[in-house]
Amino acid sequence: MSTHSENLAKDKIGASANEQEAAPPEVVAQEAAMPPRIFPGPPPPPPIQALNRSVAFGDGLVGPDISLRIPNGFRWSQRWFGDVSILGYDYQNGRNPGDPFIPARDSGDLDGWGIIHANILQTTNWSVALNTSFRSLQNNPDIPGGSTGIEDGVSSGFRIARAIGDTGGIAFGGEQVIQWDDNTDTGRNLYLMASNGWWLGDNGKDYPLFIANGGLGTGRFASLTDKDEPFNFTCTPVESNRKVGKVDENLCWGPIGSVSLVFDEWWGTFVEYAIGRATLGISANLTGGIPLRVTAGVHFAENDEIVSFDELRWITQFSIGF
């Protein structure tokens, strides 16, 4: 009997506790009318910018290159003042079947040049930069390209860019525009470019980042040789009787562009196109501090035709920001 009485007492105590814990009807109705709780998501990504051929961001981070030769339309990085790049390549005049993929050091089939960029003026949306190119990087005659001194083939250019929103931009500029002698054969390369990026991850807020870049260019952007190209237009004579770089005697415009996929702040890949030549490249950002990037590519199409394996040519670039 005592056990039964104890159970009845416990049931009464439990029922009383449940009645005390039950919320009033008006509280239940108020809670039902409230909107569901929203958990905050990741912050929006920083604005897309550029450091030479590399993608950069408004928070100061610099990622991999999004092209090799083709410039982009993004405004210059607000964090980094300048950039130095050294570019090397093989078989400037074409690779013949049977030629090794990596030429011998003394073969005369290796070449390169360097360029320094400096961002001299910027506002919230605009950036203005100057650049100086060096066609010869050393003057040792025993090394290919050493027949001329470092002071030969020096030229200058400029870049004016404006951000369009947080993911786009447009730029007008040029490299090797003012040539201080007749030893520059890398083109008087003016360009007008537009670029935009799309964040593909986490509802448009995270990597991977897809970037499309296109526009018009002159010089070596528009012509591989001294002959007219089928897509050139508005050609204007500007010089005559040049010793080298006959392509610069005429200023012709042609279509150029690139598409790239940036996997994260460290790696990316791209395809670029100019005057019948297409290049597949891969790029890596090597540090999380001072921007140090290395990029390599192969020209897989020439004259708008896919080349055979034994005609592939490579191009590399090393860049450091400051």
Q: What is the pTM of this model?
A: 0.82
The residues of the chain that CATH labels 2.40.160 are 49-321
Please provide residue 240's backbone torsions phi and psi, each rounded to the nearest 5 degrees: -150, 155
State the CB neighbour count (10 A cutoff) for residue 177: 18
Q: Are 208 and 86 in contact (CB under 8 A)?
A: no
Is it true that domain 49-321 has CATH number 1.20.120? no
Burial 153-171 (b: 16+ CB within 10 A, else e): bbbbbbbebbbeebbbbbb
State how far Cα 156 lies from the chain centre.
21
pLDDT at 1: 46
Q: Which of 124, 126, 148 is nearest to 137 (CA)?
A: 148
pLDDT at 228: 54
Beta carbons within 8 Å of 113's beta carbon, 6+ residues apart:
86, 87, 133, 134, 135, 136, 137, 153, 186
Distance, in Å, from the CA atom of 188 to the CA atom of 20, rounded to the nearest integer, reads 86
Per-residue pLDDT of the chain (322 residues; tens, 9 = 90+): 445 555 544 555 454 445 456 677 876 677 777 777 777 777 899 999 999 999 999 999 999 999 999 999 999 999 999 999 999 988 776 787 778 888 877 676 788 889 999 999 999 999 999 999 998 765 555 555 555 556 678 999 999 999 999 999 999 999 999 988 877 777 889 999 999 999 999 989 999 999 999 999 998 888 765 555 666 777 777 777 666 666 677 788 899 999 999 999 999 999 999 988 999 999 999 998 999 999 999 999 988 899 999 899 999 999 999 9
Q: Which of 45, 70, 48, 39 is nearest to 277 (CA)?
A: 70
DSSP 248: G
